Structure 1
Amino acid sequence: MLATALFVTYQASREYFGFMTSKQMSKGMPPPPRVVSVATTVMCMGMTVFSHFYRGKIGTLLAVASFALLVLQVVANKRPKFAQLASSLFGLFYCGWLPSFWLKLRNLALPAPDTPAAAFLTGITGWPTTVGLVAVLTAVAVIIAADTGAYFVGKSLGRTKLTDISPKKTVEGAAGGMAAAVATALGSWALFGWPGSPLAAVVLGVMVFFSSLFGDLIESIMKRDAGMKDSGDLIPGHGGLLDRFDSYIFSGAVTYFFSVFVLPFLNALHGPGGLSAAVSAGLAPLGA
């Protein structure tokens, strides 16, 4: 998974700075110097490696990398613009920090509930079926289901435009995507016993649906401002990597947040102690 994450981080960073250096984007916001874009790409890949080997403890690394990037901007530019500083920091956040949450999620080492599906998964992969593995597979399946449901429902029933950012998206399509996302999360609960209850599965489905939807919309904003139809030409006929993976950028972080904060809260809410126990369970990771 590390090799895949490194490739995604590298390519996403290249395409992101392709947006920043486009002629249309450059009219209103001068792009950062090339040395800064290269340094940002290297830092993004470094975050991925650090997140893998140090189990995702990268909060301090993000702060230090951000400071180093700002220093480099000041040194490399005679008259740096605030827009250049902001675009570089957003690149570090968007292409490095956010994707690293997929590794943080995968590294959740608690064993998953012992179900026939979990045993089958262990048999075909040779890996222990952990909460991290099930969470990654569930999140990916939910995103695919959301995209598929939104496409087919929107194509057949779509009438009401959802937003001007992406004119082809409809309210009906979004509703279909959310329904498909929730159904898939419930399917994961039925197969793997994760997340811990039907309510938790519904919450997960809704959260991942919105993270995938807004990930798509945010990339659309960047493409529009850059005057580009696609983020690149990595995949013939389908554009760049960000065109295919924009729905995943925020979803890893959202699924990790659900797994570490929201799920303990929901589980405790139904147990002894009720709301007070749930609040304690939800806040417990902050003290770790």
Structure 2
Amino acid sequence: MTYLPQAKRFDWSNLGVRVASAIVLIPAVLAALWIGDWAFLLLISVGVALLALEWGGMSAPRAPSRVAAAITVAVLIGLFLAHGGALPLAWGAVIAGAAAAALVARGVAERPADAAFGVIYIGVPCLCLMWIRTMPQGAWWTLMLFAITWAADIAAFGVGSALKGPKLWPRFSPNKTWSGFFGGLAGAVLAGALMTFAPPFRLNPVAAGVIGLVGGLATMAGDLWESMLKRRFGVKDSGDLIPGHGGLLDRVDGLMFAAVVVAAARLVNHLGWDH
């Protein structure tokens, strides 16, 4: 009988640093979310620039700033168009920006297509986030997105650390376990359902739980996808911006995938699925 390898024990030595980082960052994110408009646009714009720098450093170490600048400009053009309500133009700008970024990266990146992918990888979730926030009840839907991803991450970490067990995908992410995976999904479902008790949020708890489930799956998928990308680029972390966590991409990889899923759910709700 073949047994799956067991996950390594978590290094608890930097837990305090992780918690301190969260205490600083989460209130700033929530404040920008609640204010909306320019504050939320500024938050995402800063995030775009930082993510682009990390992507440039991983994908084009010979000229990271050049690639990061191309990605930042491409995504921000789309983001500002989306903020102004011109969503079709925003999507077109991201697609055109991806092609332009690949041209800029020619000769300085091993694979210029990585620059184009960086625009899509960063740009699509950012446009989805902006669209969710600008829709009716946008603050609540965005808060539900954050609640689902945070709950999935925290529950996966807590359950996986406590129960250990077989690894989920040892080739790319040696510390993630099946127990953490199912714990994360349970946390995401619970977070989605509980959000329906926060007025004036209007959504059936069962429907919200389903959104939590698919959002949790997307969060896990985003985390694993980034682990695969880091292995491909030969790096341990995407950067060292956040003490105890690594780079910004290490923190929002799951959120980026979940934003697309929740945006799809918000679109369905907007088209008539209210209860």
Question: Structure 2-normalised TM-score?
Answer: 0.77
Please report how far the alpha carbon of residue 4 of structure 1 lies from its aligned counterpart in structure 2 after TM superposition: 0.6
Matched, 1:248 2:231: no
Q: Contact 2:239/2:246 (CA < 8 Å) preserved in 1?
A: yes
Please report how far the alpha carbon of residue 72 of structure 1 lies from its aligned counterpart in structure 2 after TM superposition: 4.4
Aligned ranges 1:70-219 → 2 under 5 Å: 70-72=102-104, 77=107, 84-109=111-136, 131-164=137-170, 165-192=172-199, 194=201, 196-219=203-226
Q: Runs of 5+ in structure 1 lacking a partner?
A: 23-30, 110-130, 271-288
Aligned ranges 1:212-227 → 2 under 5 Å: 212-227=219-234
Distance 1:104 1:21, change over 3 A: same
Q: Contact 1:200/1:263 (CA < 8 Å) preserved in 2?
A: no
Please report how far the alpha carbon of residue 62 of structure 1 lies from its aligned counterpart in structure 2 after TM superposition: 2.3
Q: Contact 1:56/1:103 (CA < 8 Å) preserved in 2?
A: no
Q: Distance in 1 between matches of 2:129 and 2:42?
A: 13
Q: Distance in 2 between matches of 1:33 and 1:240?
A: 15
Q: Distance in 1 between matches of 2:64 and 2:153?
A: 36
Q: Contact 2:59/2:115 (CA < 8 Å) preserved in 1?
A: no
Q: Secondary structure at the match of 1:167?
A: strand
Distance 1:205 1:33, change over 3 A: closer
Q: For residue 45 of structure 2, what is the aligned residue in structure 1?
A: 6
Q: For residue 80 of structure 2, what is the aligned residue in structure 1?
A: 49
* Rg comparison, structure with higher value: 1
Q: Contact 1:99/1:250 (CA < 8 Å) preserved in 2?
A: no
1:195-217 Cα distance to aligned partner (Å, 9 max, x none): 52122112110111011111111
Distance 1:159 1:64, change over 3 A: same
Q: For residue 25 of structure 2, what is the aligned residue in structure 1?
A: none
Q: Distance in 1 between matches of 2:45 and 2:114?
A: 21
Q: Distance in 2 between matches of 1:229 and 1:66?
A: 26
Q: Distance in 2 between matches of 1:34 and 1:18?
A: 8
AA at the equivalent of 2:184: G
Q: Secondary structure at the match of 2:83?
A: helix
Distance 1:159 1:133, change over 3 A: same
Distance 1:195 1:204, change over 3 A: farther
1:45-85 Cα distance to aligned partner (Å, 9 max, x none): 22222221225332222233234334545xx54xx99x734
Distance 1:188 1:16, change over 3 A: same
Q: Secondary structure at the match of 2:198?
A: helix
AA at the equivalent of 2:70: A
Q: Distance in 1 between matches of 2:78 and 2:102?
A: 17
Please report how far the alpha carbon of residue 6 of structure 1 lies from its aligned counterpart in structure 2 after TM superposition: 0.5
CA RMSD of aligned residues (A): 2.4
Distance 1:209 1:50, change over 3 A: same
Please report how far the alpha carbon of residue 237 of structure 1 lies from its aligned counterpart in structure 2 after TM superposition: 2.9
Q: Runs of 5+ in structure 2 lacking a partner?
A: 1-39
Please report how far the alpha carbon of residue 224 of structure 1 lies from its aligned counterpart in structure 2 after TM superposition: 1.4
Give the count of matched residue pairs. Answer: 234
Q: Distance in 1 between matches of 2:49 and 2:196?
A: 34
AA at the equivalent of 2:84: F
1:116-147 Cα distance to aligned partner (Å, 9 max, x none): xxxxxxxxxxxxxxx21100011101111111
AA at the equivalent of 2:97: A
Q: Contact 1:149/1:176 (CA < 8 Å) preserved in 2?
A: yes
- Percent identity of the aligned residues? 30
